[in-house]
Amino acid sequence: MPEKVIPDIVVGRLPIYLRSLQRMLAENRHVTSSQELGERLGISAAQIRKDLSQFGEFGKQGTGYSIDFLADQLRQILKVDRVWDIAVVGAGDIGSAVARYQGFANRGLRVTMIFDNDPDKIGIQVGSFTVKDIANLGPTIVKAGIKIAMIATPSKEAQEVADQLISAGVKAILNYAPINLTVPEHVHVQHIDPVIHLQRMTYYL
Amino acid sequence: MPEKVIPDIVVGRLPIYLRSLQRMLAENRHVTSSQELGERLGISAAQIRKDLSQFGEFGKQGTGYSIDFLADQLRQILKVDRVWDIAVVGAGDIGSAVARYQGFANRGLRVTMIFDNDPDKIGIQVGSFTVKDIANLGPTIVKAGIKIAMIATPSKEAQEVADQLISAGVKAILNYAPINLTVPEHVHVQHIDPVIHLQRMTYYL
């Protein structure tokens, strides 16, 4: 039987549900409902129930969801019930901030190395990492078996860095450079550009 | 006649089109097509034509789009044909990186102030800004007439900061704290959390 294809927009909401559930657990909560989750997230309860039903039966009508169980299930679905190593490329302001970011802990992700091409940056400490020479990017990524990278280089270097990462086996790239990356179909890319988010809001002002 | 309501998902693509057009202009290009734009962005040409047609007639069948004209029109639609001042709250790694970010230039946005509540940070320089005391947040925002803010505080402070900003007249918030903010309907919020983007990709690995 072929696996059911889940719309990417649904997949995109699961991490938001998981984040909210983990927050409830931190508040020592153990049961919730699609209504409560929806109110916290500004998403309708019906949408949440529909999204979750794509993956199975996680709650009972009237008794709500066990937060621990649902969070566990979402971690498995999103494959963050393990820990993925991440390489950061670019040790400027953004790359350094991301490499030092504490928010990856307990969310299935950790930065394990950071690269730059600037001789003044190679060898310095960024958080707990020593900045590596980008000249060794490919072999280092291959050897470490890294599948996920974040690009925080200037725009003009981002595509070439992406090509190198992909050649070295990277399958998912989070790109902070404000250009659109072109990648093969088997590689996943997400972009973070604060201007894109801000301009989406200025429209309404 | 009532104004046509444009779906938010369409609005969300306009900044991506504009970014790509501005990049073409930087490459000294002046004419493009929905096909070319689509290939650069991984969006179908038909989708781009449909999105743009919501706002008017920007190109002629067969001759393509004038990049200068289309970029100008998108800037007007997105209201970034002016420059919006932005306040940053939180002078940690992320807030400092964002305050120093060079990528706002020529995109209708500029950071004009940064706040923190840490006595060790208040008064220090972050890029060209002196970190202001968050105790004066409200009056300072009101006086400057600021409508857009970025929150880069720890999660536990983000909601309270948002409430203060909104009381001071802020209408759009870009939130880097990894929690969901609750805001009144007239306020726009966007969230940037690298983990959300990364978990959306681990699903496919």
ipTM: 0.95
Tens of pLDDT, residue by residue over A80-91, are: 999 999 999 999
Q: What is the pTM of this model?
A: 0.92
- A-chain residue closest to B105, CA distance: A195
B10 neighbourhood in chain A, CB within 8 Å: none
Q: Is the pLDDT score of A20 beyond 60?
A: yes
User: Which residues, other chains included, contact B111 with Cβ-Cβ below 8 Å and sequence gap of 6+?
Assistant: B85, B86, B87, B88, B98, B99, B101, B104, B129, B150
Position B3 confidence tier, pLDDT thresholds 50, 70, 90 = low
Asked if the C-beta of A172 comes within 8 angstroms of chain B's C-beta atoms, the answer is yes
Residue that has been written with the tokens 């490919």 in this structure: A138
Task: Please report the sign of the dihedral spanned by the C-alpha atoms of residue B18, residue B24, residue B25, residue B31.
Answer: negative
pLDDT, position A1: 46
Task: State whether B197 and A204 contact (CB < 8 Å).
Answer: no
Residue of B160, B145, B159 lying closest to B191 (CA atoms): B159
Q: Are B36 and B67 in contact (CB under 8 A)?
A: no
Asked if the C-beta of B10 comes within 8 angstroms of chain A's C-beta atoms, the answer is no
B93 vs A155: CA distance, rounded Å: 21
Put simply, the chain B residues between 129 and 168 with a CB less than 8 A from any chain A CB are 147-148, 150
pLDDT, position B1: 46
Q: Which of B19, B147, B182 sits opposite A196 (nearest CB)?
A: B19
CB pairs under 8 A between A and B: 185
Tens of pLDDT, residue by residue over B146-191, are: 999 999 999 999 999 999 999 999 999 999 999 999 999 999 999 9
Q: Which two tokens stand for residue A18?
A: 């998981």
